[in-house]
Amino acid sequence: MTRPIPITHRKGLSRKAGRHHSAKPARKILILGGSGFVGRRLFARLGPEGAVATYNRNPISGGIRFDAVSMRLPDVVPDPDSVGAGVILLGDTSADRCARDLERSHELNVVSVQAVIDVLRGWGKKILFTSSEYVFDGERGGYDELCPPGPILAYGRQKLEVERYLAERDPGALILRLARVVSARPGDKTLLSSWLPAIAKGGVIRCAGDQAFSPLFADDAVTGILRALDLDLRGIFHLAGPRPYRRIELLEMLLAQMRKHGPVSVEIEPCGVNDFPLKERHPIDVSLDPAKFIKATRCRFRGMPWVCRELVKAARAQAWSPS
Ligand SMILES: NC(=O)c1ccc[n+]([C@@H]2O[C@H](COP(=O)([O-])OP(=O)(O)OC[C@H]3O[C@@H](n4cnc5c(N)ncnc54)[C@H](OP(=O)(O)O)[C@@H]3O)[C@@H](O)[C@H]2O)c1
């Protein structure tokens, strides 16, 4: 049995969203994959008083080493009673790497995650599993939660396999299908920030003009996860940015933002996503409709023009220059 979790974090949440906070002692969130891109931000938001976080290869301060393939969760979590919910972020999140070694990626992304789910269920914890836009085939885009999944990537099939495993066993579980998460920090190596070195170098940037998705600002992803837990949402929700973009539109937006501060000598060479040397054919339009999530949580997420502005501001503050 899962029940609403009184969680210790208050930062970034409204009083209304925090209504489960009661006389009961607050319990921590167990972040599985706390050293990853989303996990680090989630851990930073909650702090050690609000969360316990695991890492595998990249140690984090105050974190617990956990290799989901070779270790058992009960052997590393010292006090399961202090945990209210488990947020599963761990896995190999590179679609191409997953396709290149199907056996290894299935072992990590499916078998070990199922084992983690079994342990959390045995402990009676609320489970939040992060799935992906790649459970869809990308033929039409604008997918809502009623659209039938049909992954064409191994990574998407692995996510869907876990979704189904969890949904069959735990009706109280929450599955958040995340869209592409981006940050406004130079050096983060997410979609927008990873263009900065190429822009600084100048010349031609090849960019897919066909691929579309619904990018989500990283801090908003964290807020969404916490709000969803606070409200004890169950079932499947799409956690995505406010509107879809084609990849090339985002590059154009970033360049336009930079050109406000000086000349930028970059030319975009449009191509198709599948013109890149990828192991598998990639879906074209995996944009998600976040309406169900927005209605349930009343979250308001920031748009990509704002993220581009913030990224350029941060890059300029670091004395980064396009020329
Ligand atoms: N970021 C996105 O744009 C995006 C989009 C859609 C869905 N999602 C989903 O959101 C979740 C978080 O994504 P993310 O971008 O934060 O992922 P990430 O940066 O790739 O982080 C992956 C995490 O998994 C851990 N991990 C890897 N191998 C492990 C193992 N054998 N045992 C235990 N932990 C292991 C990593 O630990 P170490 O680094 O310490 O090895 C890291 O903490 C994932 O489920 C992903 O599928 C993300």
Smallest CA separation from ligand 1 atom 28, residue:
91
Of 106, 132, 34, nearest to 76 (Cα)?
34
Residue 24 CB neighbour total at 10 angstroms: 11
pLDDT at 318: 86
Distance (Å) from CA 260 to ligand 1 centroid: 35
Instruction: Write out residues with Cβ below 6 Å of ligand 1.
Output: 33, 35-39, 55-58, 66-69, 89-91, 93, 108, 130, 132-133, 178, 180-181
231 assigned to some structural domain: yes
Cα distance between residue 261 and residue 281, in whole Å: 38
Give the DSSP letter string of 105-126.
HHIIIIIIHHHHHHHHHHTT-E
User: Which ligand 1 atom sits closest to the C-alpha of 35?
Assistant: 43
Distance (Å) from CA 55 to ligand 1 centroid: 10
User: Which ligand 1 atom sits closest to the C-alpha of 133?
Assistant: 6
6 assigned to some structural domain: no
pLDDT at 323: 47
pLDDT at 321: 53
267 assigned to some structural domain: no
Tens-level pLDDT at each residue, the chain (323 residues):
344 444 444 443 333 333 343 444 579 999 999 999 999 999 999 999 999 999 999 999 999 999 999 999 999 998 999 999 999 999 999 999 999 999 999 999 999 999 999 999 999 999 999 999 999 999 999 999 999 999 999 999 999 999 999 999 999 999 999 999 999 999 888 999 999 999 999 999 999 999 999 999 999 999 999 999 999 999 999 999 999 999 999 999 999 999 999 999 999 999 999 999 999 999 999 999 999 999 999 999 999 999 999 999 999 998 755 54
222 assigned to some structural domain: yes
pLDDT at 1: 39
Cα distance between residue 200 and residue 280, in whole Å: 30
pLDDT at 19: 38
pLDDT at 25: 53
279 assigned to some structural domain: no
Pocket test for ligand 1, best of 90, 109, 166 (most atoms within 8 A of CB): 90
Of 99, 42, 45, 319, nearest to 55 (Cα)?
42
Token pair of 88 as six digits: 């599963």
Task: Provide CB contacts within 8 A for 119, sequence distance 6+.
Answer: 72, 73, 74
Distance (Å) from CA 172 to ligand 1 centroid: 23
Contact, 153 vs 99, CB < 8 A? yes
Task: Provide CB contacts within 8 A for 175, sequence distance 6+.
Answer: 128, 129, 131, 163, 166, 167, 235, 236, 237
Distance (Å) from CA 301 to ligand 1 centroid: 22
116 assigned to some structural domain: yes
CATH of the domain at 59: 3.40.50.720
User: Which ligand 1 atom sits closest to the C-alpha of 181?
Assistant: 3
Distance (Å) from CA 32 to ligand 1 centroid: 9
229 assigned to some structural domain: yes
Instruction: State the chain's maximal CA–CA distance in angstroms.
Output: 61
Please state the domain count of the chain: 1
Pocket test for ligand 1, best of 72, 75, 89, 282 (most atoms within 8 A of CB): 89
| Domain interval for residue 70 | 28-182+215-239
Q: Which residues of 212-222 are buried (b: 16+ CB within 10 A; e: fewer)?
A: bbbbbbbbbbb
pLDDT at 9: 45
Strand intervals (E) in the chain: 28-32, 51-55, 64-65, 83-88, 126-132, 174-178, 181-182, 203-208, 212-213, 216-217, 235-239, 245-246, 266-271
Pocket test for ligand 1, best of 69, 87, 93 (most atoms within 8 A of CB): 93
166 assigned to some structural domain: yes
Task: Provide CB contacts within 8 A for 11, sequence distance 6+.
Answer: 45, 46
Pocket test for ligand 1, best of 30, 35, 73, 143 (most atoms within 8 A of CB): 35
Task: Provide CB contacts within 8 A for 313, sequence distance 6+.
Answer: none
Smallest CA separation from ligand 1 atom 48, residue:
178
Is residue 167 helix, strand or coil?
Answer: helix
Distance (Å) from CA 266 to ligand 1 centroid: 32
- Read off the amino acid at residue 228: A
